[in-house]
Structure formats: structure tokens, C-alpha cells
Structure 1
Amino acid sequence: MTSLLGLIAGFLSIIGGAISDHVPLSSLLNFTAFLIVLCGSFSASTLHFGLGNMISGLKAFMWLIKPPSVDLHKFIDQVTEWSSLARSQGTLALESVIPDVSDPFQKQGLQMIVDNTSPDDFAIILGTMAENAAHHQQIPAEVWEAMGGYSPTIGVMGAVMGLIHVMMRLDHPDELGEGIATAFIATVYGVGFANLVALPLGNRLKQLAKKMEREREVVMQGFMLLAEGKPGIVIRQNLSSFLDDHGKKKGKGGADAEPEAVAAPAE
């Protein structure tokens, strides 16, 4: 939510600056410039990434309101319960809890344990799924960063097109000032969209993707221990070592460092 507030504050700062300089807000509104910059940036990015990835990128805008996240404390409690269930009733008993799991990654991990997948294959499959998920979650950031790269140039194109139109009306000198001002609105749209929306949003989505990747590493560690038949207390101790008091992963370098796998004690 703070990211969304930052986005709104950026637009308000531009509007406030225009008002303080006695610039009519109506002069900042130009549908033609809007069409050129936004549609042009979208079209160029669609050519770059394909329509499916573009749709994923646009949907990821909602991450500003509700960022995707894994409640690791809740997951540790769950995987501890699953371990107790599997050790007391066998791994087939975990089949009953699969419908209650909403996360596809966790659901696949449980299904492979129920199917008695070998440890080597389990690690390979789960690792491949994690890599695919990480790649998919990086795409929205790349989409917005690309749009931020294209929009200023397309804004300049819009300005040049506006100036061409002005030059064609040199026989109306009273219209030159307004025409030139209108032409440069496309540049304002292009630069403003890139630096107030697209590039900051791309960087924010990249941070969220890395956060989800780190959370997924903890989930993978939990399923590896569960597949090995470790007791619940061992799993809890191991996974808790990845967390600080705020539920974030920690490492030797502090709360923001990459975690290292903690070797589980022998049963």
C-alpha cells in the first residue's frame, strides 16, 4: 500500500508544481499525446514480450495494493503438522490435506510426497518448479522496465509530430505558441510515465519477485525435510533458523542477507 501512496504522491507533486506556477491544468491534458505515448509504449512492449506476458505485467500492478507473500510462520506450523501426520499414519495420509492447500507449489510438493517420489527426483522437480516460478514472477518487472525505456522516446516522437503540425500552420502565427506547447505535452507524458510509474514500478516488482523467491527457498527446505521423514521438531528448528522476529529470512550478513541451508540434526 505504501508503494501505491508513493505513486499518488508523485502525481500530486507534478500537479502541485503546475498549480504553484499558475499553469492551467487543462494545458496538461491532451488525448492525442496520451494515445501516442501509452499506446505506443504498450505496443512496443507487446512486440518485445508477447501479449501473454504483457497481460501478466499489467495484472501485477495490483501487487502495489496486496503484494503476494507466503506466511512462513504459518507454513512452519503446517509442515510440522504434516510431518506428525505422515510419521503416525504414513505419507498417504497427506493426500487428505492436499485439497486444503491453495498454493500450487506447496500442493505439488505434497502430491510428490504422497506419490513416494524418490529424494533425488523430488529435489530436481521441486527445484525446477521453483526456477520456473521465479522466472515467471520476474517477467512483470521486466515488462514495466521496458515500457519505461520506450515511453520517453515515443514521447519525443509525439512532440516531433506535433511540431510538424505546427510548422504546417506558420501562416497562423497567433497559434504557434499554443501549438508548440501542446506538442511538448507528449514529451512530458513520456518522461513522466517512465520516471513516475513504469521504472519505479518495475523496480518494486523486481524486489517483490526476489522476496517471493527467498520465501520459496524456505518452503523447499521444509518439503525436503518432510520428504526425508524428519520429525516435526527438527523441521521447526531448521526452518525457524531462516527467520528473524519479524518473519523475514536472515543470514550471516544480517536480516537482508541470503540464507544458508541449516543442516538438520540426526534423528
Structure 2
Amino acid sequence: MTSLLGILAGFLVIIGGALSDNDPLSSLFSVTAVIIVICGSLTAVTVQFGLRQILLAFEGVFWLVKPPRTDLRAFIEQVSEWSAMARSHGTLVLESVIPTVADPFHRQGLQMIVDNTAPQDFAAILAIMAEKAGRTQEAPAEVWEALGGYSPTIGVMGAVLGLIHVMMRLDHSEELGEGIATAFVATIYGVGFANLVALPLGAHLKQLARELERERHVVIQGFLLLAEGKPGMVIKQHLQSFLEDEPKGKAAPDGEPVVMPQAAE
């Protein structure tokens, strides 16, 4: 939510700066500039990434409102309980737990434990799943960063097109000033969109993806210890060591599963 407020504040600063010079607000609006900059930038990233990745990038914007999180403290307690169940009744007892687990990553880990997957295969499969999830979660950031790279250049292109239109009407000298001002609106849109929206949003999404990767590392360690048959107390102490750098008393978000759209094949 703070990120959304920051983007809004950025636009308000630009508008406020224009109004402080007694410029009419209408001078900042141009449908032609919007078409050239936004549509042109979207066309460029579509060529680079494909339509599916573009849709995933726009879905990633919802992370600004509610970032995905793994409730690591709840997971540590849960995996400790699973360890006690497995040591008391065997790993097959965990099969009854699988349908109650919402997170697909956790379900896969439990299923492999129930299937008695070899330790080396178990670690390799979890690593592959984690890498795939990481690529999927970083994809929106890459798209927004690419948008931030294309839009300023396309904004300059829009300004040049506007100037060409003005130069073709030199016989109307009274329209030159307004025409040139309108032409440069495309540059404002390109640079403003890149530096107030696309690049900050891309950096923020990449930071969130790295935090999710760290959380996923803790989850993998938990399942590896569970597969080794470690006691619940040992698992809890080991995993809690990853949380020592977190502020005490920090409330973890509701333990909703992290469900990301699948990346394009």
C-alpha cells in the first residue's frame, strides 16, 4: 500500500509543479501522447516477452496491495507437528494431511516424503521447484523494468512526431507555441512513466521476489529435516535460527499460500 501511495504522490508532485507556474492543467494531457508512449512501450515489451508475461506483470501489481508471504513461524510449528506424527505412526500418516495443505509447494514436499523419495532426489526436486517458482515471481519485475527502459525513448519519438506536425504548419505562426508545448508532453509521459511507475515498481517486485526466495529456502530446509526423520524440537530450533534477524514481536501476515500464475512454457 505504501508503494501505491508513493506512485500517487509522484504524480501529484508533477501536477503541483505545473500548477505552481500557473500552467493550465490541460497542458499536461494529450491523448496522442498516451497512445504513442503507453501503447508503443507495451508493443515493445510484448515483442520481447510475449503476451502471457505481460498479463503476469500486470497481475503482479496487486502485490503492492497485498504482497504474498509465507507465515514462517506457523510453518515451523506445522512441520514440527508433522515430524511428531511421522515418528510416532510412520511417514504414511502424513498422506492424510496432504489434502488439508493449501500451498502446492508444501503438498509436493509432503507427497515425496510419503512416497519415500530418495534423499538426493528429494533435494534435487525441491531445488528445481524453487528455481521455477523464483523465475515465475521475478518475471513481472523484468517486464516493468523493460517498460521503464523503452518508454523514455518512445516518448522522445512522440515529441519528434509532434514537432514534425508543427513544422508542417509554419504558415500558422500563432499555433507554433502551443504546438511545440504539446509535442513535448510525450517526453514528459515517457520519462515520467519510466521513473515514477515502471522502474520503481520493477525494483519493488524484484525485492519481493527475493524475500520470497529466502522464505522458500527456510521451507526447503524444513522438509529436508522432516525427510531425515529429525525430531520436531530439533527442526524447530534449526529453522528458528533463520528468523533471528527478524524484529521481535513482528506479526506475520495471515498464512495464506503463495500462489503465482505459471510461467509460459
Aligned to 1:5: 5
The letter for the 1-side match of 2:239 is: L
Please state how far the C-alpha of 1:33 moved relative to its aligned partner: 0.4
> Match of 1:228?
228
Q: What's 1:30 paired with? A: 30
**Could you tell me how far 1:196 is from its partner in structure 2?**
0.2
SS in 1 for 2:175: helix
2:42 corresponds to which letter in structure 1?
A: F
- Distance of 2:100 and 2:166 partners within structure 1: 64
For 2:3 and 2:139, the matched residues in 1 are separated by 19
Task: Indicate if the aligned counterparts of 1:73 and 1:247 stay in contact, CA closer than 8 A.
Answer: no
- RCO greater where, 1 or 2, for CA within 8 Å and sep 6 or more? 2
Identity of counterpart residues, as a percentage? 70
Q: Tell me which amino acid in the other structure corresponds to 2:79.
A: V
For 2:244 and 2:19, the matched residues in 1 are separated by: 47
Counterparts of 1:247 and 1:210, CA distance in 2 = 19
Partner of 2:174: 174
Q: Structure 2 vs 1, CA of residues 79 and 247 (structure 1 numbering), >3 Å: closer, same or farther?
A: farther
| Alignment partners' CA distance in 1, 2:127 and 2:245 | 27
- Give SS of 2:93's match: helix
What do residues 156-208 of structure 1 show as CA deviations (whole Å, max 9, x unaligned)?
01111111111111111111111111110000000000000000011101100
Task: Tell me whether 1:134 sits opposite 2:128 in the alignment.
Answer: no
Q: Which residue of 1 aligns with 2:206?
A: 206
Rounded Cα–Cα distance in structure 1 between residues aligned with 2:193 and 2:245: 38
1:217 counterpart residue number: 217
Whole-angstrom distance in 1 between the partners of 2:25 and 2:10:
16
Are 1:91 and 1:114, in contact at CA under 8 Å, matched by a contact in 2?
A: yes
**In the alignment, which residue of structure 1 is the partner of 2:143?**
143
Deviating 4+ runs (over 4 angstroms)? none
Match of 1:68 in 2: 68
CA distance in 1 between partners of 2:199 and 2:226 (Å): 41
Segments of structure 2 that go 5 or more residues without pairing to the other structure are 249-265
Shift of 1:105: 1.1
| Aligned amino acid, residue 189 of structure 1 | Y
- Using the alignment, how far apart are the partners of 1:146 and 1:159 within structure 2? 21
Residue of structure 1 in register with 2:56 after alignment: 56
SS in 1 for 2:244: coil
What pairs up with 1:29-108 in 2 under 5 angstroms? 29-108=29-108
Aligned residue type for 1:66: K
The 1-side partners of 2:225 and 2:102 are apart by 21
1:22: Cα distance to partner? 1.1
* CA drift at 1:244: 2.3
1:148, 1:193 within 8 Å by CA — same for their partners in 2? yes
Q: Distance in 1 between matches of 2:41 and 2:105?
A: 34
Partner of 2:240: 240
1:247 and 1:233 map into 2 onto residues whose CA distance is 22
Cα shift at 1:245: 6.5
Q: How does 1:247-258 map to 2 (within 5 A)?
A: none
User: What residue identity is the alignment partner of 1:23?
Assistant: D
The TM-score normalised by the length of structure 2 is 0.91
Give how far 1:50 is off.
1.0
Instruction: Identify the residue that residue 154 of structure 2 maps to in structure 1.
Output: 154
Deviations 1:196-235 (A, max 9, x none): 0000011101100100000000000000000111110000
CA distance in 1, matches of 2:111, 2:85: 15
Report SS of the residue matched to 2:213: helix
Q: Does the 8 Å contact 1:144/1:201 carry over to 2?
A: yes
Cα-to-partner distance string for 1:125-156 (whole Å, 9 max, x where unaligned): 00111111111111111100000000000000
Residue aligned with 1:242, SS:
helix
* AA partner of residue 113 (structure 2): I
Tell me, yes or no, if the aligned pair for 1:7 and 1:196 is still in contact at 8 Å. Answer: yes
Secondary structure at 2:192's aligned position in 1?
Answer: helix
Deviation, 1:83, is 0.8
